[in-house]
Amino acid sequence: MKKIQLIIGFILTAVLSAALTYNFTQSTNTSLKAIGSDDPFEKLRSTYETIQSDYYQDVDSKELVEGAINGMVESIGDPYSDYMSISEAKSFNENISSSFEGIGAEVQDNNGKIMIVSPIKGSPAEKAGIKPKDKILQVDEKSVEGMTVNEAVMLIRGEKGTKVKLLVERDGVGELELTIIRDTIPLETVYTEVIEGNIGKIQITKFSETTGTELAEALTELNEKNVDGLVLDLRQNPGGLMDQAIGMSELFIPKGKTIMQVENKDGSKEVYKSEKDPALDVPVVVVVDNGTASAAEIMAAALHQSAGIPVVGEKTFGKGTIQSARGFDDGSSVKYTIAKWLTPDGTWVHEKGFKPQYEAKLPEYANLPYLDPDKTLKEGDSSPEVKTAQQMLKAVGYDEIGAEGYFDSGMKQTVEKFQKDQDLTVTGEMTSETIIKLMETIQKQLSDNDTQVKKAIEVLNENN
């Protein structure tokens, strides 16, 4: 307060009279005495009353109270604790219980920045090339600096079919501008298929209210098909409900074995054990990556440490805390961290992640930035986008790409060849049609050459 008084006093001295500065200071000192009290809430009440009575404009009392609550929760400095307004609380509940419209990505606060935890499988965010650990700088050219996670989410979400432009920062790459078309993000969270060698593959995209039921049905389906093994894919899974993680882990962990531990504020621990026997009597391997977080990490660690199931892939995200939410009568709520969760052997993975026993990475081209189909690239252009297009073309078998980052005549000929091979209009320019087809080709190649799943199958065969 003294610092503010001195600064304002200096400005007033420069532009008004000493008498006005003196009067302002007198008034400020009087207010300071009025809020002195051993009761911390007296200071809060006094500030509220002062603003209501003395502020030069009318202020909505509800906004003052919500601002105070929000500031209180923010002061904790915990990226997983938030005050959610009515609309934000509704959006949060939809995310774990039903479909919603948006881009399909889990975000969190990371040292004051809005960071992607993971895009959801098949979502517009995933298709646009959003990656875990990307930091969002702007939404539709509006800076999100200083915003809460919920405020940023409300900007990003929108009606199906509408576009949102994100400026993101990616480690090792720099700033990227992505234009994403919003869509309906479905409730379905479990995807099942049978892959090479009669191996069942189940991908779990998040842990919502219905995921446990979906997983049980998927296991029954694969059991009926007499698969010889199972790959459980938890990549790009941002987590969700803890009770679902426990119930789903029970489907793989022998009765009586530990699933997880919860360490409370006072240091006491609760141990959660499996109360069932495994639902599928075949070898299992789990696949994870740096987008595997929270409840997905609980499950991966539990299956490895308590059921001896191998884990393949990359080190997980590292989110080792548990949140609860308390709602207000008006529909708003406070989400806050209540405890730590520990793996069965007592390890806290927070900010460290869970390391797989078998490391496997995707091909380098899996990390290439997204190309905006709305931007045509042509001969004479020189930009990071041209470099990305060249890398994509090279990844799908076109080696004559010209000088790096420069769209020269050689690059034009390569683009013409790609267009001819794909039955596209041959223009020699990277048009919207060409860019979309190129990215689709990359995605298909990545799916056909999923090195992490191939490693999982290799491990399955070794253990079978």
Residue the block writes with tokens 């769209």: 407
CA–CA distance, 403 with 204 (Å, rounded to integer): 42
Show Cβ contacts of residue 159 under 8 Å, excluding neighbours closer than 6 positions: 101, 182
Contact 186, 206 (CB under 8 A): no
Determine whether 319 is an active site residue. Answer: yes
Determine whether 90 is an active site residue. Answer: no
Name the catalytic one among 201, 319, 412, 437. Answer: 319
Contact 101, 91 (CB under 8 A): no
CA–CA distance, 27 with 10 (Å, rounded to integer): 16
Name the catalytic one among 91, 138, 323, 443. Answer: 323
CA–CA distance, 452 with 252 (Å, rounded to integer): 21
Show Cβ contacts of residue 237 under 8 Å, excluding neighbours closer than 6 positions: 118, 204, 205, 206, 207, 291, 292, 293, 295, 296
Determine whether 422 is an active site residue. Answer: no
CA–CA distance, 383 with 17 (Å, rounded to integer): 57
Q: What are phi and psi of 244, to 5 degrees?
A: -70, -40
Name the catalytic one among 244, 261, 294, 452. Answer: 294
Residues with catalytic function: 294, 319, 323
